[in-house]
Amino acid sequence: MHPRTPLVVALLALWAAAAPAAAQSRPEVIVAVGGTTAIQGAQGGGVTAALTLQWPLADHVRFGLTGFLDDLGDRTGRLRDPQGQDLGPVSVLHQAAKGAAWRTEAYTAWGRRYEGFATMNWGVYRVRDDVRGTLIRRTNAPGVAVGVGLLRSVTATHALGLEVRYQQLWRGVVQRYLSAAAEWRWRRSEGN
């Protein structure tokens, strides 16, 4: 048996258990755009973007699937001439991650318009290392992300919010980083 078979079976069983509730409701669509920072071993950061579909699973719990792209910034070094003279900083490695993850979200209402939430994602990250566009290596790594955020309802079907998320990977040069993003959510009403 392949070592990942039990994990795949468990995830499919969880998804099948959620299917009756999901079949009765339409997914919530989340589009998030922001930035990455505090990247292990890199200077600066980059852009983060995600698309998520999630369904109600239980009272105050949602479950779904998210796809993401995270720019992890550059690692810099010093350029030197043949005599050893320092010519300044130069990018020696650029990194980016993309992938898909299961997402679980717990939420609570704060008044009529606000909602606080906490998320946990677990999935596969594909980290790409390149130097000025030339691919050096690709690493597939399992990872988790935990986050907290705040939403404000704008209309009956739309909400805007902010989320801060910590990402932990188990392989590769980059093993942890933070991201912060603005979110737009669309919840279809039952009549639409």
Non-local CB neighbours of 4 within 8 Å, separated by 6+ positions: none
CATH architecture for residues 25-153+163-187: Beta Barrel (2.40)
Closest CA to 29 of 162, 183, 155, 154: 183
What are the sequence ranges of the domains in the chain?
Answer: 25-153+163-187
Residue whose tokens read 């509730």:
21
Number of H-type helices and E-type strands within the chain: 1, 8
Give the model confidence (pLDDT) of 111-134 as tens digits.
778 999 999 999 999 988 777 777
Q: Would you say the pTM of this structure is higher than 0.95?
A: no
Q: Please give the C-alpha separations between residue 182 and each of 2, 14, 29, 31, 51, in angstroms, as whole numbers.
A: 39, 29, 14, 8, 12
Residue whose tokens read 């796809």:
67
CA–CA gap between residue 12 and residue 14 (Å, rounded): 5
The dihedrals phi and psi of 100, each to the nearest 5 degrees, come to -135, 145
Assign residue 4 a region (left: φ > 0; alpha: ψ between -120 and 50; beta: otherwise).
alpha
CB atoms within 10 A of CB 5: 9
Q: What percent of the chain has pLDDT over 90?
A: 44
pLDDT of residue 17: 57
